[in-house]
């Protein structure tokens, strides 16, 4: 299945049916009076977030969604049939934006969440509603209420607990494969990852979701390489895992390059907790790897882990560190929510 994380669709609800102008016609009843029924209500356009979807590829082949119109009313006070609503099913994590691509309409964060995108028009009233003491035979009925119509953008931001960042060939795909059952493409050339990959990591009877995105290069924020197109998928992550090739000639410069591209994209990414690790440790002698770690720790002022996806060296230690940050961020947000509600510890 191809990966698609952005799509434009046009949605239209159903207009309401018109009310009927009708009069009662029965034998031996001289003054039957009006009996025009109401029009049916038009169908709605509803968005629903569902599980087991991780791409918007379906919206490449269908861009128009139209709900049914309401049927007109009929004699004998019969109400017209209401139009069927249409439900657009999107992956969890989809944002729905207005046509300007900036105004957020709704963020579908939870499975089963629904949102009324376009409301169907109400049906018009039949002439039986307009009967009065001074107008016993009204010949007036209402037209159905108009529908709603709009174009919207769907933007998918994958739901993951931790995200992998780094230059191309930093060993991100290998680490994801060593950490989970995911089987991303792995090769000895840059940009083997062309779209985000997800894997479920199991550690100490706990699980979390790890996301791998295409590698960043200097100038990515200006469109170089694959650019920053997929960085939005990291916005929902609790922590970032920054991998740097242990054989890199300038690990400190490489670290700063990626951090600058993250900062140029959005402050929300630069402010997230970060775990730094030197990858591909199996390709150098242990003393050389240790020397690289000392250089990097001194240059960035952070603890640096050593990992090898091929030999599993240090993988579990990084998993535990990521899990610690994930739990800490969730507890922090929960406490902030309580304080907003006036909670007193």
pLDDT digits (tens, 9 = 90+) for 180-193: 876 655 555 444 55
Average pLDDT over residues 87-112: 92
Give the pLDDT band (50/70/90) at residue 1.
very low
- Most confident listed range (19-28, 77-86, 203-212, 216-225): 77-86
Long-range contacts of 101-105 (CB under 8 A, 24+ apart): 101/153, 105/152
pLDDT for the residue 341: 46
pLDDT for the residue 171: 83
Average pLDDT over residues 146-163: 89
- Given CATH 3.40.50.300, say whether it is the number of domain 162-340: yes
Eight-state DSSP code of residue 281: G
Kindly list the strands in the beta sheet with 45-50, ordered across the sheet, starting from the edge strand earlier in the chain: 86-91, 45-50, 114-118
Average pLDDT over residues 207-217: 79
Kindly list the strands in the beta sheet with 304-306, ordered across the sheet, starting from the edge strand earlier in the chain: 197-203, 206-212, 162-165, 239-245, 274-279, 304-306
The per-residue pLDDT for range 22-39, each reduced to its tens digit, is 998 888 777 788 999 999
pLDDT for the residue 231: 75
pLDDT for the residue 71: 96
Question: Lowest-pLDDT range, 225-234, 272-281, 326-335?
Answer: 225-234
Domain map (residue ranges) of the chain: 1-156, 162-340
The CATH code belonging to domain 1-156 is 2.70.210.12
Enumerate residues 6+ apart whose C-beta is below 8 A from 152: 8, 9, 11, 96, 97, 98, 99, 105, 117
Residues making up the binding site:
166-173, 191-195, 212-215, 279-282, 308-310
pLDDT for the residue 226: 54
Residues making up the binding site for GTP:
166-173, 191-195, 212-215, 279-282, 308-310
- Global pTM exceeds 0.85: no
Eight-state DSSP code of residue 167: S
pLDDT for the residue 189: 44
Does the pLDDT of residue 61 top 90, yes or no?
no
Average pLDDT over residues 257-268: 84
Q: What separation in angstroms does the CA of 175 have from each of 2, 17, 113, 154, 253?
A: 23, 59, 33, 30, 22
Q: What is the DSSP string of 219-264?
A: TGGGT-TTTTTTGGGGTT-SEEEEEEETT-S-HHHHHHHHHHHHHH
Residues making up the binding site for Mg(2+):
173, 193
């Amino acid at each position: 299945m191809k990966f698609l994380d952005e799509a434009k669709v046009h949605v239209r609800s159903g207009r309401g049916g018109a009310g009927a102008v009708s009069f009662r016609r029965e034998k031996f009843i001289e003054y039957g009076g009006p009996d025009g029924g109401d029009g049916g209500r038009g169908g709605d356009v509803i968005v629903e977030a569902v599980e087991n979807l991780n791409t918007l590829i379906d919206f490449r082949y269908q861009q128009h969604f139209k709900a049914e119109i309401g049927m007109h009313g009929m004699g004998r006070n019969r109400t017209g049939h209401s139009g069927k609503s249409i439900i657009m099913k999107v992956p969890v994590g989809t944002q729905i934006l207005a046509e300007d691509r900036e105004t957020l309409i709704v963020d579908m964060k939870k499975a089963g969440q629904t949102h009324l995108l376009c409301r169907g028009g109400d049906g018009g009233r039949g002439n039986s509603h307009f009967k009065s003491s001074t107008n016993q035979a009204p010949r007036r009925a209402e037209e159905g209420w108009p529908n709603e119509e709009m174009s919207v953008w769907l933007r998918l931001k994958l739901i993951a607990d931790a995200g992998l960042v780094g230059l191309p060939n930093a060993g991100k795909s290998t680490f994801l494969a060593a950490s989970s059952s995911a089987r991303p493409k792995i090769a000895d050339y840059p940009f083997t990852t062309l779209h985000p990959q997800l894997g479920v990591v199991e550690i100490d009877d706990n699980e979390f979701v790890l996301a791998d995105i295409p590698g960043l290069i200097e100038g990515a924020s200006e469109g170089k390489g694959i650019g920053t197109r997929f960085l939005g998928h990291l916005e929902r992550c609790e922590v970032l895992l920054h991998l740097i090739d242990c054989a890199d000639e300038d690990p400190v410069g490489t670290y700063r390059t990626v951090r600058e591209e993250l900062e140029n994209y959005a402050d929300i990414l630069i402010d997230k907790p970060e775990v730094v690790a030197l990858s591909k440790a199996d390709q150098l002698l242990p003393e050389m790897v240790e020397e690289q770690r000392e250089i990097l720790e001194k240059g960035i002022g952070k603890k640096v882990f050593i990992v090898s996806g091929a030999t599993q060296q240090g993988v579990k230690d990084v998993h535990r560190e990521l899990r610690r940050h994930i739990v800490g961020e969730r507890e922090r947000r929960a406490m902030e929510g309580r304080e907003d509600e006036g909670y007193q510890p």
